[in-house]
Structure 1
Amino acid sequence: MSKQEHDSLLLTLHNFKTELFLSYVDMKFEAALMNVSTSWYKLASYTFKEESSILSKVYLHLGDFITIYEEDHEEL
């Protein structure tokens, strides 16, 4: 991502690092953001295994909207 695109994006994410940190705190991953620098990419992808053992690859592009469903899990 170009510096201009990076700077423009940061203008729309006023509290990005704070919100990201609070998200990690909610997930009990407080140590995950110690001494972290942020890198920006136009695309991210990941693969996950569905309950039916089918592998699905997901591509997220800059500007995509996503929905995250929160589930309650019992801790073991």
Structure 2
Amino acid sequence: MLDTNVLLNLYRSNESTRRDTLAALARLRERLWIPHQVLTEFWRNASRRPYAITTRPRPMRRAPRSTRRSTRPGQ
């Protein structure tokens, strides 16, 4: 039986983790049971997500100025 967070975490996961999770769910498909309440919660909460599953996180180009300044010797 799945919890709503298992499904919602697919939105937060990186591509590799998402692929592994979906592969595990596919292997369990004959024994997998998702209660109606879980699906209701998933659709209610998934619509609040500001990004899609296919969105990739953008890498940071440079450290923020405050971080660069504080790592200088003598400061």
TM over 0.5: no
Output the TM-score relative to the length of structure 2: 0.25
The structure with the largest strand share of the pair is 1
